[in-house]
Structure formats: structure tokens, C-alpha cells
């Protein structure tokens, strides 16, 4: 692993920092990432530049900037100081009060210092990281910012939590997780909260789980996140099947689709059906991805460009797709009007059962449009015990059930309100 180049060190001017930080706070209130004075005060109190001395002040105090500090052998980011908006949002979700005991999983120092502000002198903050160099760096930064005695640091793998400091009132995970290890539930007090960037079949969302009983977590939330991936025992290697030149199918389905069969099906003529569901510019479709991912057996995503898929894929080139063993169907999003700008979901399919599979995907998209568009996404129930009679998503440690009955007034981020865009 390598660390970000730390020279030269930009000088940080106190007036400039004050101005930049206030601007950042204004933006975070505007988009609803900040929701309480307590979290805003913590952001005001902690000198973020002390945790990112190798970066210029305007970057440090840009709410969207992810400050990348550690890189793996292929150049991928393995550690960063996360964007401030997401740190603030997760702290708001955590609802941390004075005197609480909090575990942060994935360290860096800055977020731990914010938590220290929120728990105050009677609370306790433990921050763990799997990478000893991250802990060393965090220790130096916390010392420079004056938080040495207020945060306990340790090298540990998230998979086991941190038994020594348990039980915790709150656990905040800051690396992308694909599972909920039993240690997290066990080390949380009854009614305690676990805030985590959590992927369901490849779609990462910020979830706030509450420990509602001995073995049950109930999660709400659903804002889109993009964290560095979990390493160590909880690392999840995405299973990919090459389908054609530039086209890959990614799925958790077990067994994996047969590559030759999938490739043969993909070159057969396409059956297409319009859904009648249109989108305008900058519309929110994150719940559609979750709606499809949470209860379609054979679900996966197809990566490929418009040439390969016949039409424009969904943004981010992660096109929801279904494989039923003989046929493939997937969702594309061609632009259908330029004045006004509009896109319409279209379903394509290949193979002997393409028509049936395409119909079921079309019907699903239409139900999202009528029942869940603009809504908050699903509640997630997570337990190591198999629930009776529900559609279940199995992960290594837990069974997940998605419930689409969340009340519709959950506060959401509002990116349109950012005064600087
Ligand atoms: C986005 S960074 C953390 C940011 C930090 N919370 C901050 O203050 O900005 C994610 C961290 O998770 C750590 N990490 C990844 N897998 C882990 C694991 N299994 N256990 C503990 N830490 C892990 C990485 O080494 C990385 O430093």
C-alpha cells in the first residue's frame, strides 16, 4: 500500500479557513446533510485541515471532496477522509448524544474528532482500522488537532468489532459493507444504532439499523453512497461473468450463470418493450435500483455501453438485469426527447423466454413508478435467523428482508438546493 504524497504542505490561513468552513456549513444545511445544531457545531469545532495537511484549504473545506490518503497495489483508494456532507449525514442519522460510547469502524481521525465533540467529556470514542498506517496517521492528526485523549485508536478488523470497548450505544461504519457481521449486533446495546454504507446486490446505500431485539436489526435510510470497500474477513469479491466484448454480468446468484450459455443467448435477436415510465433531468432513480435488486431472483447488473447494449445504459453503466437460466432481460434508458429532456425506460431481452422475462421486468418498473417513485426506499430487516414466508436475500451472516412500507416523510438529501451548483 502507498500513502498520498505529503509534500509540499499548503499553508492554512485562519481567516480563509473560517470563511471556507462557514460556506461549507451553509451548503450542508441547504442540501439537508446537516439537520441539527449539535452536528453543525462539531463541524465548526474540529479543524478539518489538521487531518488533511497535504491538501489545499479550498479542497479540504469543499463538502464534496473526498481526500484520498492511501492506495492499494492497483492504484485503487483504500483510505480517504470522506466528503464532509456524508460524514455529517451519517452523524445526523446516528443521533449521538452526550455521554455515549461510540465505535467508529474505518479510521482517519476527523470523523472520530467530530464524534468526540458530540459525546463530550463523559462519552467514549473508539476508532478502529485494519491498516496500521491509517491508525498511525490518525494518531498524528488527532494530536495536531488536540484530540489525543478523547479518541482511543486500535488496529482491528471490522469483522470482529471491538469487544474491549463494548457494548456501544452507536457503531458508525465508514467502509462499504456487503454484510452485517454478528459482532456488530452483539456489541450494540438494545435500541442502539448502527450506521453503515451497505450494499444490497451491489447497490450501496447509507442505512441506519436499530437493534430492535437480541438478533434483529431494522434499517431505514437509503441515500446513495460510494465508500472505499471493506477489506479483511468481510471483503466481498464481486462475481463477474463476461458476456461479450465490453459486456459483463455481475451477480451474487449461486450458482453463477454459465458463461457460454449467457454469451450464446446475448447474441440472439433482442425483444424490446417500452415501459411508458419517463424520467426528467436529475431525477432520483436510486429506489428503482433497490426495488429491482431486493426481490427479483436472478438479479444482477450488466456493464456495457450503448453500442454493446443497443441503447444507453442506466447512468453509471450499472444496468439492472435478470437471468433465469435460459434468457436475459435488462433495463436501458434511451433519451426520447430533447425539448424537454426526457428519457424512457425500455426493457430488452434475449433467449427463448425473453418475452416473459421482459414482461416481468416491465411490470416491475411500472409498479415502482406508481407505488414507490419519490419514496424513501425499503426498510431492511436483518437477522441470522431465516424469517418464515418472506422473500429473503441471503448474505454470509444474515438474512435480509426488504419491506417497502416505510412512511413517505423520511427526510431526504436535496442536492438541487446546493447554492453552489
Ligand atoms: C473512508 S476511510 C475512513 C474515513 C474516516 N472515518 C474519516 O474520518 O474520514 C475507510 C477506512 O476503512 C478501513 N477499513 C477497510 N476495511 C476495514 C476492516 N475490515 N476493518 C477496519 N477498517 C477497515 C480502511 O483502511 C480505511 O481507512
Query: What's the half-sphere exposure (Cβ side, CA atoms, 13 Å) at 147?
Result: 33
Strands (E), 149-201: 152-155, 168-173, 188-200
**What is the SS3 string spanning 134-151?**
HHHHHHHHHHHHCCHHHC
Q: What is the mean pLDDT of the chain?
A: 91
Longest dimension (CA), the chain: 68
pLDDT the model gives residue 370: 93
Summarize pLDDT for 64-85 with one digit per residue, the tens.
999 998 898 888 899 888 899 9
Q: How far is the CA of 279 from the centre of ligand 1 (A)?
A: 36
Alpha helix segments (H runs only) across 125-234: 132-145, 182-186
Summarize pLDDT for 89-142 with one digit per residue, the tens.
999 999 999 999 999 999 999 999 999 999 999 999 999 999 999 999 999 999
Q: Which residue has the higher pLDDT, 290 or 254?
A: 290
CA 294 to chain centre: 15
The neighbouring-strand residues paired with 67 are: 81
The answer to whether the CB of 286 falls within 8 A of the CB of 206 is: no
pLDDT the model gives residue 10: 58
Q: Which one is catalytic: 53, 79, 80, 82? A: 82
- The full length of the chain comes to 421
Residue whose CB lies within 8 A of the most ligand 1 atoms, among 52, 67, 83, 130, for a mutation test? 130
pLDDT the model gives residue 7: 46
Please state the rounded mean pLDDT for residues 386-397.
Answer: 82
Summarize pLDDT for 211-232 with one digit per residue, the tens.
998 889 999 988 888 899 999 9
Summarize pLDDT for 141-171 with one digit per residue, the tens.
999 999 999 999 999 999 999 999 999 999 9
Please state the rounded mean pLDDT for residues 192-211.
Answer: 94
Q: How far is the CA of 80 from the centre of ligand 1 (A)?
A: 8
Rounded CA separation 360/183 (Å)? 39
pLDDT the model gives residue 11: 57
Amino acid at each position: 500500500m502507498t500513502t498520498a504524497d505529503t509534500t509540499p504542505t499548503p499553508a492554512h490561513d485562519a481567516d480563509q479557513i473560517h470563511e471556507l468552513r462557514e460556506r461549507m456549513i451553509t451548503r450542508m444545511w441547504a442540501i439537508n446533510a446537516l439537520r441539527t445544531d449539535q452536528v453543525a457545531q462539531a463541524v465548526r469545532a474540529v479543524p478539518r485541515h489538521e487531518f488533511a495537511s497535504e491538501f489545499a484549504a479550498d479542497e479540504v473545506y469543499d463538502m464534496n471532496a473526498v481526500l484520498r490518503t492511501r492506495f492499494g497495489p492497483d492504484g485503487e483508494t483504500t483510505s480517504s477522509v470522506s466528503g464532509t456532507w456524508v460524514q455529517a449525514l451519517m452523524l445526523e442519522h446516528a443521533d449521538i448524544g452526550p455521554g455515549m460510547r461510540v465505535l467508529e469502524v474505518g479510521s482517519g481521525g476527523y470523523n472520530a474528532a467530530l464524534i468526540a465533540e458530540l459525546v463530550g467529556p463523559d462519552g467514549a470514542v473508539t476508532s478502529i482500522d485494519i491498516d496500521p498506517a491509517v491508525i498511525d496517521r490518525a494518531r498524528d492528526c488527532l494530536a495536531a488537532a488536540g484530540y489525543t485523549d478523547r479518541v482511543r485508536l486500535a488496529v482491528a478488523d471490522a469483522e470482529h468489532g471491538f469487544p474491549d470497548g463494548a457494548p456501544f450505544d452507536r457503531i458508525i461504519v465508514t467502509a462499504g459493507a456487503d454484510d452485517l457481521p454478528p459482532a456488530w449486533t452483539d456489541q450494540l446495546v438494545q435500541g442502539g444504532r448502527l450506521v453503515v454504507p451497505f450494499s444490497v446486490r451491489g447497490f450501496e446505500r447509507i442505512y441506519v439499523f436499530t437493534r430492535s431485539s437480541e438478533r434483529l436489526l431494522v434499517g431505514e435510510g437509503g441515500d446513495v453512497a460510494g465508500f472505499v470497500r471493506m477489506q479483511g474477513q468481510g471483503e466481498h469479491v464481486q462475481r463477474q461473468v463476461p458476456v461479450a466484448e465490453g459486456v459483463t454480468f455481475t451477480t451474487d446468484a449461486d450458482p453463477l450463470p454459465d458463461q457460454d450459455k449467457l454469451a450464446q443467448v446475448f447474441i440472439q435477436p433482442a425483444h424490446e418493450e417500452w415501459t411508458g415510465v419517463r424520467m426528467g433531468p436529475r431525477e432520483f432513480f436510486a429506489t428503482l435500483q433497490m426495488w429491482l435488486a431486493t426481490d427479483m431472483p436472478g438479479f444482477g447488473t450488466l456493464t456495457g455501453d450503448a453500442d454493446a447494449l443497443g441503447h444507453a445504459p442506466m447512468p453509471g453503466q450499472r444496468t439492472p438485469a435478470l437471468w433465469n437460466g435460459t434468457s436475459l432481460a435488462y433495463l436501458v434508458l434511451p433519451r426520447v426527447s430533447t425539448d424537454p429532456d426526457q428519457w424512457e425506460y425500455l426493457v430488452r431481452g434475449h433467449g427463448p423466454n425473453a418475452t416473459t422475462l421482459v414482461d416481468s421486468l416491465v411490470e416491475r418498473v411500472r409498479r415502482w413508478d406508481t407505488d414507490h417513485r419519490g419514496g424513501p426506499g425499503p426498510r431492511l430487516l436483518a437477522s441470522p435467523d431465516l424469517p418464515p414466508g418472506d422473500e429473503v436475500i441471503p448474505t454470509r451472516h444474515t438474512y435480509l428482508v426488504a419491506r417497502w412500507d416505510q412512511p413517505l416523510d423520511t427526510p431526504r438529501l436535496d442536492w438541487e438546493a446546493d447554492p453552489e451548483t
